[in-house]
Amino acid sequence: MKNVLIVMSTNVFYGAERTLLEFLKDNREHRFFIYTSNIADDLFDAVKAENIQIFSSSSMRVRSIRRKPVTAVLYIVYNLFVIHRMVRQYHIDVVYGNNTIDMVYVMLYRRFFNSCVGTICHIHDIIRRSMYHKLLRRFGKYIDAFITPSHAGKQSFVNDIGSPDKVHVVYNGCSVFGPHDVQRVRTKKVLLFVGLISKLKRIDLFIQILDQLNTDYPKQYQGMIVGSMSENDPVYIAAVKAQLNQSDITYFGHVKHEQLCSEIFPQADALILTSDRDTLPTVVLEAMASNVLVCARAVDGVPEMIQNGVNGVLWDYDAPVETMAAAVHAALSDEGKAKELQENALKTIKEKFNPDKKKELVNILIDGIPI
Condensed to tens digits (0 to 9), the pLDDT of residues 212-227 reads 999 999 989 999 999 9
Mean pLDDT value across residues 76-93: 94
In order, the DSSP letters of 132-151 are: HHHHHHHHGGG-SEEEESSH
In sequence order, what are the residues at sequence separation of 6 or more whose Cβ sits closer than 8 angstroms to the Cβ of residue 167? 145, 146, 147, 148, 154, 157, 158, 161
pLDDT of residue 370: 79
In sequence order, what are the residues at sequence separation of 6 or more whose Cβ sits closer than 8 angstroms to the Cβ of residue 85? none
**What is the CATH number that goes with domain 189-352?**
3.40.50.2000
Among 38-47, 172-181, 182-191, 252-261, whose mean pLDDT is lowest?
Answer: 38-47
pLDDT bucket at 155, cuts 50 / 70 / 90:
confident
Q: What are phi and psi of 191, to 5 degrees?
A: -100, 135
Asked whether the beta carbons of 54 and 48 are under 8 A apart, the reply is yes
Q: Sign of dihedral through CA atoms 332, 288, 294, 220?
A: positive
pLDDT bucket at 179, cuts 50 / 70 / 90:
low
Q: Is the pLDDT of residue 288 over 70?
A: yes
Residue at 201: amino acid letter: K
| CA–CA dist 284, 305 (Å, integer) | 8
% of the chain residues with pLDDT over 90:
51
Q: What is the pLDDT of residues 9-31, one digit of tens each?
A: 876 677 788 888 888 888 889 99
Mean pLDDT value across residues 33-47: 70
Q: Return the higher-pLDDT residue of 46 and 181.
A: 46
| CA–CA dist 303, 352 (Å, integer) | 13
pTM: 0.85
pLDDT of residue 49: 64
pLDDT of residue 63: 58
Mean pLDDT value across residues 90-116: 91
What's the full length of the chain, in residues?
371
DSSP SS3 for 108: helix
Residue at 288: amino acid letter: M
In sequence order, what are the residues at sequence separation of 6 or more whose Cβ sits closer than 8 angstroms to the Cβ of residue 112? 80
Element containing residue 257 per DSSP (H, E):
helix 257-259
**In the CATH scheme, what is the homologous superfamily, with its name and number, of domain 3-173+354-368?**
Glycogen Phosphorylase B; (3.40.50.2000)
pLDDT bucket at 64, cuts 50 / 70 / 90:
low
Q: What is the pLDDT of residues 186-206, one digit of tens each?
A: 689 999 999 989 888 999 999
Buried/exposed code over 200-235 (b: 16+ C-beta within 10 A; e: otherwise): bbbbebbbbbbbbbbeeeeeebbbbbbbebbeeeee
| CA–CA dist 290, 284 (Å, integer) | 10
Q: Is the pLDDT of residue 82 over 90?
A: yes
Q: What are phi and psi of 294, to 5 degrees?
A: -110, 130
Q: Is the pLDDT of residue 80 over 80?
A: yes
Rounded to the nearest integer, the mean pLDDT of the chain is 87
Q: Return the higher-pLDDT residue of 347 and 47.
A: 347
Asked whether the beta carbons of 362 and 171 are under 8 A apart, the reply is no
Among 85-94, 119-128, 305-314, 315-324, whose mean pLDDT is lowest?
Answer: 119-128
Give the angle 174-99-232 at the CA atoms, nearest 5°: 105
| CA–CA dist 103, 143 (Å, integer) | 9
Q: What is the pLDDT of residues 355-364, one digit of tens each?
A: 888 999 999 9
Q: Give start-end residues of each CATH 3.40.50.2000 domain in the chain.
A: 3-173+354-368, 189-352
| CA–CA dist 242, 249 (Å, integer) | 12
Mean pLDDT value across residues 73-95: 93
pLDDT of residue 265: 94
Instruction: Identify the top-confidence range among 33-47, 54-68, 177-191, 259-273.
Output: 259-273
pLDDT of residue 52: 83
- Percentage helix, strand, coil for the chain under 3-state DSSP, each rounded to 5: 50, 20, 35
Question: Would you call 309 exposed, middle or buried from its count of C-beta atoms within 10 A (0-12, 13-18, 19+)?
Answer: middle
Among 71-80, 129-138, 195-204, whose mean pLDDT is lowest?
Answer: 129-138
